[in-house]
Amino acid sequence: MADPPSRLAARELLDTVLDEGSWVGWDSAPVQPAPDGSPYAAELAAARERSGCDEAIITGEGRIHGRRVALIAGEFRFLAGSIGAVAAERIVVAFERALREELPVFAAPASGGTRMQEGTPAFVGMVKISAACARFKAARLPYLVYLRHPTTGGVFASWGSLGQVTVAEPGAMIGFLGARVYEALYGRPFPEGVQTAENLFEHGLIDAILPVEALAETADRALNVLMGGREGPPDVPDVPTESLADSPAWDSIVRSRRAHRPGVRALLKLGATDVLPLHGTGSGEYDPGLLMALARFGGAPCIVIGQDRRGQTLDEPLSPKGLRVARRGMALARELDLPLVSIIDTAGAALSKEAEEGGMAGEIARCLAELVTLEAPTLCVLLGQGTGGGALALMPADRVICAQHSWLSPLPPEGASAILHRDTTHAPDLAAAQRVRSLDLLADGIVDRIVAEHPDAADEPQAFCLRMSQAIQHELATLARQEPAARLAARLARYRRL
C-alpha cells in the first residue's frame, strides 16, 4: 500500500488555491466549551499551540482566478480535525453568510470526524451542518468539495459528501468507519485499499483525484459553468440553414457506425469550453458508456450527459448504471437550474441477466419521466446511432437536434428484420419503412433541426463538431429566454401530440 500524502495545513492549502493576497477570514475568537483547568481545556490549548489555529475549522473568503468564493477548511493538526460545537457553528455560519452574499462555497475537510471529548452533542451537530448545507444548495448555489487526507466519520457522512462536484487528494484516506475502531470491535484489520481516494474514484463515488496545485484551475472551470446561469442569457448565434441530400436511411446507418465518427468526447473537445468531466453516480457506480460533464457552448453553460461510443463495446454495452449516472446529471441540472444537454449515440442498451437484475427497464422509465418533467431547460442531440430504449431514455427535451446521418429506431434494423423475416437481409428496407433517418424524424416532428454532414462527420470531424456546437449554442441561448412555466408546458404538449 502506498504511503499516505503529507498533511497540508489549512492555511497552506488556502495560499495555494487562492489568488495572492485575497484571503479574508470570517472567524471570531471562539468561546471554548471546556471548563478552565479541565483536561479538555489543556488539550485545546495544546492543539492551538501545535496547529497555529484556534479551532479545527477556519472560514473566510478569497478569490479564485478573480472570482469571489467562500471557503471552509479543516485543520487536522487541531485535535485530528474533529468537529465539536465551535467548529460546527463556524461551518453553519459560513454557509449562512455565503447564502446571504450569493457566494459559491469551496470546502476542504480533513478530519477524523466528531470530537469524542464533546460526545453526543457534537455527534448530533452534524445534523445542523447538513441542514445549513441543504439550505445553501436550495438557493442553487455551487458547493465544491476537496476531500483531504484523512476525511472520515461524521464529516465524510455529512458536509464532506454533499458537494455537486467532489474531488480528492491523491492517496488520501477517505471513509466512514475508522480502521482502528473496526479492528477493536471485530478483532481483525480492515481490508487494505478500501478507504482510499483511488478506490472511491474507481467505484464512482468521487469525480476526480487532483493534487492541490490543480485545484484553482479546476475550480475556476467548474465555477465558470456553475455560476454561468447568473450572468444573464447568452447571445443567440446565427445558424445557417443548409439543404440536405435525400439519401437512403441505410446509408445513414452505415455512416453512423464508422469507427472514426466523432462522438461526445470529440464534440466537447472541439466544440465546448470549460469542460470538466464528472464521474459516476456518487453512490458507488459508474459506466464507461455514459459521460457526464460540466461545459459551456459559446456563452451557454450546461450539464452534459452523453452516451460515449468509445466506452460501449459488445462485451460492455450501456448498462443500468449508465442511466443512473445520467440521472445524476438530471438531478444536478434541477439543483443548479442549469440547462441539460443529452447526447444520444448508442448501439443499444445491455440485454443480459445483469441488466435485467440491475433494473434496466426501470431506469429507462425513470429517465423518461424525469426528463420530460425537468424544470430546467433541456436539449437533446442525436449524434449517431439511436437504438432502442437506451437511446429513448435520453431523448425527451424542449428541443431535439440531430446530425444528418444520425437515426432513431426501436431496434437496430437487423433486429427488426430478424423479427419480421427471420433473417437480416431485409434491414435496409425496414430502415426506410420505419422512418428512422433524420429527414423522416424532422417531418414527423420528433426532431427540430438537422445539422449537415459534408458528406460524413467522420471525414470532417472538426468542421462538423463546430457546426454542431453552433447549433447547440443557438438552441440553449433561445431556451434561456423563454419563461420556464411556458417552456415546460410546451414540452409536455409536444410529447402529448406525438
Q: What are the structural domains, with CATH classification, of the chain? A: 10-225 (3.90.226.10), 244-497 (3.90.226.10)
Tell me the pTM.
Answer: 0.95
In eight-state DSSP terms, residue 398 is S
Res. 3 pLDDT band, cuts 50 70 90: low
Binned at pLDDT 50, 70 and 90, residue 464 comes out as very high
CA proximity to 104, closest of 15, 253, 229: 229
Averaged pLDDT, 42-47: 96
In the block, cell 427535451 appears at 397
> How far is residue 192's CA from residue 200's CA, in Å, rounded to a whole number?
13
- Report the alpha-carbon distance of residue 285 to residue 484 in Å, rounded: 32
C-alpha dist (Å) from residue 303 to 298, 405, 428, 468, 484: 14, 25, 36, 16, 17
Weakest mean pLDDT among 45-54, 169-178, 235-244, 298-307: 235-244
What's the grid cell of residue 92? 453553519
The pLDDT tens digits of the residues spanning 299-345 come to 999 999 999 999 998 889 999 999 999 999 999 999 999 999 999 99
Whether pLDDT at 366 is above 70: yes
Which residue intervals of 52-81 are DSSP H helices? none
| Mean residue pLDDT across the chain | 95
Answer whether 350's CB lies under 8 Å from 156's CB. Answer: no
Q: Using CA atoms, how far apart are residues 462 and 470, in angstroms rounded to an integer?
A: 12
